[in-house]
Structure 1
Amino acid sequence: MDSNQMIFEELLKLKENSYSPYSNFKVACLIYLQDGQVIKGINVENASYPATICAERTALSQVYALGYKKADIKSLELYTDSEILGSPCGVCRQFISELIDWSTPISIYSKKGFQIKTNIKELLPYAFEPEQILK
């Protein structure tokens, strides 16, 4: 079994932890760290939709809460319950753009398995960056 298939199998298990009673659209995220740790995230919905948190933000928040930084992130692996390519929402793209290196590989999986390997620079080419507001 190749590494993409192993990651896909892990994402399929993790997606079952998703709390998505409204959309039934499960999302799972694995962040592989340079030291071998794997941080997990799932989407958690809320009846008040703005209170919903996406899997990517769940996982990245844990990375930083555990004391890791951008340089510690090896890759971000994302699964969505889509039949076709499902990618991070706009809020997640912005969130990711600030918290990982722009060259960090991002792999996206759908119900069919591995779909694409990209990075945040390709997903959000004109990101709003801290330098635009910091003096």
Structure 2
Amino acid sequence: MKEVEITSRLMVYDNTDELPETIRVLMQKAVEARKNAYAPYSRFKVGAALLLENGEVVIGNNQENASYPSGLCAERVAVYHAGARYPDVKIRAMAISAASDNRTVLTPIPPCGACRQSLAEYEVKQAEPMELYFMGETGKVVKAASVKDLLPLLFDKSNL
């Protein structure tokens, strides 16, 4: 037996003012998308914005449903929209912002497990990493240089 250590390297910005200009604008689009989320059950709103290699920005927000499993997270709404509209265009970066109607969200909120797997599919498909930036309503922003930093043991088409 041998022990294997897996590590991830993340960057933490104190606030959006420290972000590169293109990412700051992308995060603002995620915040705007978040405000239009349909979250009458959880009251937890998430917005996502993707920057594509062609310069287009695609947004998504969480869409809940009374039949809970039928809803979708903001990240998957955005990535599936990008896949449908721009199927061969690579995703350079994703910005995510989360807020609650019940409290102020100061902690950066990463994608859930299902979203990480979906994002991994697109990252593997494009054979290039996509940067992920995530935050709460305000405050710190975390950057992962690749989905692999959040999901290091990927399950992808090579496993099938």
Give the TM-score normalised by structure 1: 0.88
1:107 is displaced (CA, Å) by: 0.7
Q: Residue 59 in 1 paired to residue 41 in 2?
A: no
Equivalent residue for 1:93, pick from 108, 113, 116 = 116
Measured after TM superposition, the shift of residue 11 of structure 1 is: 2.2
What residue number does 1:129 align with? 156
For structure 2, the 5+ residue unaligned runs are: 1-16, 100-104
> Across the two proteins, how many residue pairs are aligned to each other?
132
- Compute the RMSD of aligned alpha carbons: 1.8
Structure 1: 4+ residue segments shifted above 6 A: none
Q: Which runs of 5+ in 1 are unaligned?
A: none
Return the structure number with greater relative CO, CA threshold 8 A, min gap 6: 2
AA in 1 matched with 2:114:
V
Change beyond 3 A, Cα 1:72–1:80: same
C-alpha contact 1:26 1:43 (8 A) present in aligned 2: yes
Q: Do the aligned partners of 2:95 and 2:134 also contact (CA within 8 Å) in 1?
A: yes
Q: Structure 2-normalised TM-score? A: 0.75
3-state DSSP class of the match of 1:28?
A: strand
Q: Deviations over 1:60-97 (max 9, x none)?
A: 1111111333x521111111123212111100000100
Partner of 2:131: 105
Give 1 or 2 for the bigger CA radius of gyration: 2
Q: Which residue of 2 aligns with 1:77?
A: 95
Match of 2:38 in 1: 19
